[in-house]
Amino acid sequence: KLTGTFLRKYALKTSDRLCEEYDQLTTVDQDKRLIEYETQILIELYALRFIDDIPLENSSIVNKFRFIYFTAEPGRMKTFLDETVADEFSTVMPNIMAQIYEELCVTIPCDLKEFAAEHDEQPVDSLFVENQKRMMANKHLQALDRVLQEDAAEEGRMKSSRLELSKKRKKAVVEERKKKKGSCRSLSFSKDEEGGKKSRLSVPE
Is the Cβ–Cβ distance between 56 and 100 less than 8 Å?
yes
Average of per-residue pLDDT across 61-90? 93
What integer is the mean pLDDT of 61-70?
Answer: 93
pLDDT 10s digits, 89-128:
999 999 999 999 999 999 999 888 888 875 444 444 555 5
Give Rg (Cα) of the chain. Answer: 41
The 10 Å Cβ neighbour count of residue 42 is 15
Q: What is the pTM of this model?
A: 0.54
The lowest-confidence range among 27-31, 105-109, 185-189 is 185-189
Task: Report the alpha-carbon distance of residue 13 to residue 9 in Å, rounded.
Answer: 9
pLDDT at 48 over 50: yes
Q: Would you call 167 helix, strand, or coil by DSSP?
A: helix
